[in-house]
Amino acid sequence: MYIVFSEKCLEYWEPGHPESPDRVYQAYKLLRERGLKFVQAEPCREEDLLLVHSRKFVEAVKNEMLYDPDTPNLPGIYEYARLSAGSAIKSMEVALEGEKAFSLMRPPGHHAGVNGRALGAPTLGFCYFNNIAIACVKALEKVERIAILDIDSHHGNGTQEIFFRNPKVLFVSLHRYGGIYPGTGGISEGNCLNYPFTYVVGDSEYLRTLKIALDDIKKFNPDLIAVSAGFDAHRHDPVCSLGLSEDSYITIGRMIADLNKRTFAVLEGGYGRLFPICVFNFLSGLEQY
């Protein structure tokens, strides 16, 4: 297991914003203490961004002309977002070489669509460029089929928009729905399979549903699995909990590993005090096979 990371992602912040550098720093410290192997993240090229995003949107981020209620137009955010996307690409490349990898970077990305806000969402949801989508499009230069599993408690509307009706990609998402941002993912459509929860479900129901979702992925028989790894489904998350225990993340990692496919994961959300433990547990489960 390799952790792709750059301390540069800790340099920017918006006072009072839940997507803070401290959450990633605390996870970084724990993973270092536990002896995981780290790889340096490098920024992606602008051409990589244009594989999934419109030039108009990329230019808006680049020129600091992005106006979004919860996704701040911070100085230098274009470079930080390129670094996060590049980290996802590096994680994918490590996975294709046969090792599991996790991009421990910010900003997250799964809400960012082709032109920014995706599928009618009211905001960008803390995301600038869709890191996992960029990595997957790059991966399709080398493999035939990719499954994307989104375990963030918010629907990955940007990822769904980007890959909708793409026969080479299966998108599967487990998330809160009903009065919850981004308000999408209530039904499955084509190659986008959604498992919405309308209430806090806890471990047992979530893991039962995940088994069904992983059966979908098994039938698709992908060459590569990409995980949008959000940890805001944890029971103590202040933003959008699904009532999961920290131990459930070990099981989630193991269940994904049981598919015995080349796999990488990219950080999305997760804002609670036990976020670092959830990350470590997930990676421990994922690495055991």
Residue 88: which CATH number?
A: 3.40.800.20
Which helix (H) or strand (E) segment holds residue 86: the answer is helix 77-96
pTM above 0.85, yes or no: yes
pLDDT score recorded for residue 288: 78
Number of domains in the chain: 1
Spatial distance between the Cα atoms of 117 and 131, rounded to a whole number of angstroms? 15
> 170-178 contacts: CB < 8 A, separation 24 or more?
170/145, 170/146, 170/216, 170/217, 170/220, 170/222, 171/147, 172/147, 172/148, 172/213, 172/216, 172/217, 173/149, 173/228, 174/150, 174/206, 174/209, 174/210, 174/213, 174/233, 175/150, 176/240, 176/242
DSSP state of 9: G
pLDDT score recorded for residue 283: 99
Mean pLDDT by 10 residues, the chain (289 residues): 98 92 98 98 99 98 92 95 99 98 99 98 98 99 99 99 99 98 98 99 99 99 99 97 99 98 98 98 90
Residue 154 annotated as catalytic: no
Measured over the CA atoms of residue 141, residue 61, residue 19 and residue 2, the dihedral's sign is positive
Which pLDDT tens digit goes with each residue over 102-126? 999 999 999 999 999 999 999 999 9
Token pair in block for residue 18: 């839940």
Q: Which of 111, 154, 175, 234 is catalytic?
A: 111
Which pLDDT tens digit goes with each residue over 34-91? 999 999 999 999 999 999 999 999 999 999 999 898 998 999 999 999 999 999 999 9
Owning domain of residue 147 = 2-287
Residue 184 identity (one-letter amino acid): T
pLDDT score recorded for residue 149: 99
Token pair in block for residue 88: 């996802």
